[in-house]
């Protein structure tokens, strides 16, 4: 609000304990063991209510349900409650430690957050090394806030970021999935991706993608991921839906392509067979770092497996393929591949023409023409084969 932007939601901080909040609201549900929170439901709206927590240096009071567990500097559980000022100083960034007092509509600032907000500075509260070790996800939050708000990261906050990226390996992959969605589905995916690469953090989220992108193809860098992220930002700006399945299919496309090519060359598989096996392998490897829920993983694989079918300008089956539940996503994926310079422009153009042809008879004629053309190409290949063998 201080930046003149519309908040996406409102959270509440209070001295009431979670159990007390639940007594006040019948529509309340307590969640989380790491951080005990109350979710108060109003229809489809959820108000997250957090109890003020004490600083990390404050000892456990010993009350039931109020405990803190720290291992190798990382906070694994923190339910030691305190005052509003203690709560402010244990938060991550100064600009994220501001409280809006709804009694008199004032902003309460204990950490200098308002000054940093005016200066466009992202500053960690306390010793950056200690704070990153307490919760390595703060590395990703620094990138997200810097990209989203256009802020510069304060030098002391920035200094250990590249060196401590390895700590992300200790974060549960399921939690990293939620962070990736916040990073890349916030409307500034391109800027976020560039900062992730700048601070050498992307490789801890998608190591196989990082490795694939580091190798140029025929002297040209891979640009598909960047095009996909640009498309994501554009769709969000136009209030169009974006699914995690499409995003992850794009982020893992380059390692998938490499595996497909290898399986075709070494195992003699068809493009579809190789795509099916490579899809399972790539997703299995990715799950070690960022867990993609099963329902999205299935959709990502379907988008990939439709690519070989779309690449072959088809015949009678084309109209049936249009009815596939994942056709539209797979078609959009094909268009992005064409834009990125892959040799699928002809197929992308044909599918576009088919969809833009409203008359069923014309559609059927288009499919028949494609089928006839494919038969001619097969005959030409067969007629050339004996000559090559004789030579």
The Cα 359–Cα 337 span in angstroms is 28
Task: Output the CA torsion sign for 328, 331, 335, 336.
Answer: positive
Residues β-bridged to residue 77 = 69
Q: Is 341 exposed, middle or buried (0-12, 13-18, 19+ CB in 10 A)?
A: middle
Helix (H) or strand (E) holding 189: helix 189-198
The Cα 361–Cα 375 span in angstroms is 21
Q: Which residues have a catalytic role annotated? A: 9, 11, 92
Phi, psi of 304 (to 5 degrees): -65, -45
For residue 348, give the 3-state DSSP assignment.
helix
State the maximum Cα–Cα separation within the chain, in Å, rounded to a whole number: 92
* Residue that has been written with the tokens 């005052």 in this structure: 83
For residue 306, give the 3-state DSSP assignment.
helix
Nearest to 122 by CA among 143, 93, 101: 93
CB-CB contact of 288 with 173 (8 Å): yes
Enter the tokens of residue 199: 């601070």
For residue 297, give the 3-state DSSP assignment.
helix
Provide CB contacts within 8 A for 386, sequence distance 6+: none
Task: Output the CA torsion sign for 344, 347, 350, 352.
Answer: negative
The Cα 373–Cα 102 span in angstroms is 70
The beta-strand segments (E) located in the chain are 11-14, 28-31, 37-42, 45-51, 68-71, 74-78, 98-101, 106-109, 121-122, 152-153
Nearest to 136 by CA among 98, 175, 97: 175
């Amino acid at each position: 609000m201080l930046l003149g932007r519309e908040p996406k939601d409102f959270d509440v901080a209070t001295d009431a304990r979670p159990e007390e909040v639940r007594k006040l609201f019948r529509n309340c549900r307590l969640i989380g063991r790491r951080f005990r929170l109350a979710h108060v439901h109003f229809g489809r709206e959820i108000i997250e209510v957090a109890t003020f927590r004490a600083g990390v240096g404050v000892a456990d009071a010993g009350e039931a349900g109020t405990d803190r567990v720290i291992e190798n500097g990382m906070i694994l559980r923190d339910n030691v409650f305190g005052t509003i000022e203690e709560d402010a100083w244990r938060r991550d960034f100064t600009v994220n430690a501001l409280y809006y007092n709804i009694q008199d509509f004032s902003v309460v600032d204990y950490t200098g957050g308002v000054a940093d907000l005016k200066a466009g500075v992202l500053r960690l509260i306390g010793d950056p090394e200690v704070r990153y070790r307490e919760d390595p996800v703060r590395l990703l939050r620094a990138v997200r806030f810097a990209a989203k708000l256009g802020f510069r990261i304060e030098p002391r906050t920035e200094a250990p970021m590249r060196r401590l990226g390895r700590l992300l390996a200790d974060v549960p992959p399921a939690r990293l999935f939620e962070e990736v969605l916040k990073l890349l589905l916030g409307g500034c995916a391109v800027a976020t991706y560039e900062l992730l690469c700048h601070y050498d953090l992307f490789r801890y989220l998608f190591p196989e993608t990082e490795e694939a992108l580091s190798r140029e193809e025929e002297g040209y860098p891979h640009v598909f991921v960047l095009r996909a992220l640009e498309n994501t930002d554009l769709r969000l700006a136009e209030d169009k839906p974006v699914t995690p399945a499409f995003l992850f299919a794009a982020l893992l496309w380059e390692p998938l392509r490499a595996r497909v090519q290898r399986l075709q060359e070494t195992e003699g598989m068809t493009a579809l067979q190789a795509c099916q096996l490579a899809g399972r392998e790539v997703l299995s490897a990715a799950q070690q770092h960022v867990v993609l829920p099963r329902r999205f993983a299935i959709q990502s694989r379907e988008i990939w497996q439709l690519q070989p079918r779309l690449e072959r300008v088809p015949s009678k089956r084309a109209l049936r393929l249009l009815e596939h539940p994942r056709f539209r996503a797979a078609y959009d994926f094909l268009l992005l591949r064409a834009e990125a310079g892959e040799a699928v422009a002809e197929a992308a153009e044909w599918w576009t023409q088919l969809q833009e042809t409203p008359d069923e008879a014309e559609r059927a004629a288009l499919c028949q023409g494609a089928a006839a053309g494919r038969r001619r190409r097969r005959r030409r290949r067969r007629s050339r084969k004996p000559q090559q063998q004789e030579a």
